[in-house]
């Protein structure tokens, strides 16, 4: 049996329990066994973390860019060294397959190193506004930044705080209560490598930790990754306290727009890969709506079903597993509810939708990768984000209808366009209302290119220079000479 994980929070450079004396237990979603616990923070803990960040701010902001970069690179190196330990914990805590999770620590390290090299680019401007004065601007940090991160990539989202730190801010991070155990390792690494108070980590649920962090008057800059309803709640709560800069990377109901000249084999393979079944569809960028012309519909459907049914589902720690369980009971029940809604609304269930067979699947949050055919725009599975392993195939008649269907949801995070016609591809990329678009590709992120959404999929961009700029305020200075 694996070791029980007894996590701690990080506040002011110290590993601590909660002032509430309460704990959150975490279960392995593959078998529902309790595998660890973390402190359940309350408002007093959050306040202590914010005060620690505020206390560390002047010294951290007073460092040179070279000094900040050196500290961050040292932190990134320790994170990399602890990669195997983190991987073992996250496989058990999330249900995500080891083959996919292996890349998360490496991606976090790359992101930290990227921003460590950009510090000297935080430049202001000189403006020739008058003949008798020097007019210039400088960029300065906000102070204390709150970051609330989701369950699907726990260490990746919690650990990549290079942008706010290089800009001179100090940070309070709240990991997801659904997969919090790797945050304890992150707390140890931060304690070893960064000055006390520069990064603080508080674990707990939304009411006990998330809401107090959003509402704290010293936290003027907030970053959140998660669902649209929670993003809306964060905007409301923040606005009730002070004027705050809130960036949101929210959900998606992402279209894969396939044109008649596309190859059905490539389309099917990319649709299944882009649906992120290896994460059980628990990825905001998943290609959950496949828009197909009549000429390709049957051919792609046949291939998609075959590929979905061929996915090997099993122990997430096995290199052979192509999919694990859902992350939590709540996500599992939500996905089952949408599968039932698809059936009730008249869609045709052509793959999955049930628990896999076998004694190893009797406990845990297991669902077979699921595909619906003949989905129409009036159905809930067309319009609403499921965040589960449910793909919908939709017919269209012509290009105008395809683009109308693609844009006919409240979301606008990602989109994929498949065609060999360059003019068609460029027009579709222009017209689709999404913030991140692939042409003849899916899923891959490219560091330095801004990731974020249109419409209700969010505000702001991450993984790029604009992210670091977003953690600064502009000050204009006029010097009369």
Question: Tens digit of pLDDT for each residue in 350-370?
Answer: 999 999 999 999 999 999 999
Q: Round to whole Å and give the CA distance between 348 and 186.
A: 45
Averaged over 301-328, what is the pLDDT?
96
Q: Is the pLDDT of residue 317 over 80?
A: yes
Identify the DSSP state of 2: P
Exactly one of 284, 462, 463, 464 is catalytic; which is it?
284
- Whether the pLDDT of residue 1 is over 70: the answer is no
Q: In what order do the strands lie in the sheet with 199-201?
A: 14-16, 9-11, 199-201, 170-174, 144-148, 219-225, 245-249, 458-459
Beta strands in 108-232 (DSSP E): 126-127, 133-141, 144-148, 170-174, 199-201, 219-225
- Would you call 299 exposed, middle or buried from its count of C-beta atoms within 10 A (0-12, 13-18, 19+)? middle
Q: Is the pLDDT of residue 2 over 90?
A: no
Instruction: Encode pLDDT of 254-289 as tens digits.
Output: 999 999 999 999 999 999 999 999 999 999 999 999
pLDDT tens digits, one per residue of 144-156 = 999 999 999 999 9
CA distance 279 to 273: 10
When the pLDDT of each residue in the chain is averaged and rounded to a whole number, the result is: 97
Kindly state the percentage of the chain with pLDDT values over 90: 99
170 is catalytic: no
Model pTM?
A: 0.95
User: Is residue 192 flagged as an active site residue?
Assistant: no
Report whether pLDDT(35) > 80.
Answer: yes
- Name every residue whose Cβ is closer than 8 Å to that of residue 340 and which is 6 or more positions away in sequence: none
Which residue from 392, 372, 395, 391 is spatially nearest to 258, judged by alpha carbons?
395
Q: What is the mean pLDDT of residues 218-230?
A: 97
Q: What is the mean pLDDT of residues 428-444?
A: 97
- Contact indicator for 76, 109 with CB cutoff of 8 Å: yes
Single out the catalytic residue among 82, 90, 249, 463: 249
Q: What is the pLDDT of residues 142-185, one digit of tens each?
A: 999 999 999 999 999 999 999 999 999 999 999 999 999 999 99
């Amino acid at each position: 049996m694996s070791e029980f994980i007894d996590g701690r929070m990080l506040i002011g450079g110290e590993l601590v329990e909660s002032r509430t004396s309460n704990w959150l237990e975490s279960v392995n979603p593959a078998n529902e066994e309790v595998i660890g616990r973390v402190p359940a923070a309350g408002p007093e803990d959050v306040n202590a973390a914010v005060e620690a960040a505020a206390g560390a701010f002047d010294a951290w902001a007073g460092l040179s860019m070279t000094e900040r970069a050196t500290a961050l690179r040292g932190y990134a190196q320790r994170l990399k060294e602890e990669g195997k330990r983190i991987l073992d914990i996250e496989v058990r805590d999330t249900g995500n397959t080891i083959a996919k999770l292996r890349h998360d620590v490496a991606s976090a390290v790359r992101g930290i190193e990227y921003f460590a090299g950009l510090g000297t680019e935080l430049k202001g401007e000189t403006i020739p506004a008058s003949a008798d004065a020097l007019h210039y601007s400088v960029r300065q940090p906000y102070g204390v930044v709150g970051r609330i991160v989701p369950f699907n990539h726990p260490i990746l989202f919690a650990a990549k705080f290079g942008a706010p730190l290089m800009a001179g801010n100090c940070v309070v991070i709240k990991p997801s209560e659904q997969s919090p155990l790797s945050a304890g390792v992150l707390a140890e690494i931060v304690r070893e490598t960064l000055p006390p108070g520069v990064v603080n980590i508080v674990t707990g649920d939304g009411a006990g930790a998330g809401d107090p962090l959003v509402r704290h008057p010293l936290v003027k800059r907030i970053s959140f990754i998660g669902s649209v309803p929670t993003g809306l709640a964060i905007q409301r709560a923040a606005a009730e306290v002070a004027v705050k800069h809130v960036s949101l990377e929210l959900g998606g109901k992402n279209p894969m727009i396939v044109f008649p000249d596309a190859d059905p084999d490539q389309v099917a393979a990319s649709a299944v890969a882009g649906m992120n079944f290896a994460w059980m569809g628990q990825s905001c960028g998943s290609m959950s709506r496949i828009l197909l012309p009549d000429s390709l519909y049957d051919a792609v459907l046949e291939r998609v079903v075959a590929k979905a049914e061929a996915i090997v589902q099993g122990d997430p720690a096995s290199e052979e597993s192509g999919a694990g369980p859902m992350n939590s009971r709540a996500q599992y029940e939500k996905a089952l509810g949408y599968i039932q809604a698809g059936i009730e609304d008249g869609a045709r269930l052509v793959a999955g939708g049930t628990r896999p067979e076998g004694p190893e699947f009797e406990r845990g949050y297991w669902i077979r990768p699921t595909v619906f055919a003949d989905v129409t725009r009036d159905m809930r599975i067309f319009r609403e984000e499921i965040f589960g392993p449910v793909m919908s195939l939709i017919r269209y008649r012509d290009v105008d209808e395809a683009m109308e269907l693609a844009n006919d949801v409240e979301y606008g995070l990602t989109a994929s366009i498949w065609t060999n016609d360059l003019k068609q591809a460029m027009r579709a990329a222009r017209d689709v209302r999404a913030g991140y678009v692939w042409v003849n590709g899916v899923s891959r992120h490219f560091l330095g290119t801004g990731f974020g959404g249109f419409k209700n999929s969010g505000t702001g961009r991450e993984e790029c220079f604009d992210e670091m700029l977003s953690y600064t305020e502009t000050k204009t200075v006029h010097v009369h000479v």
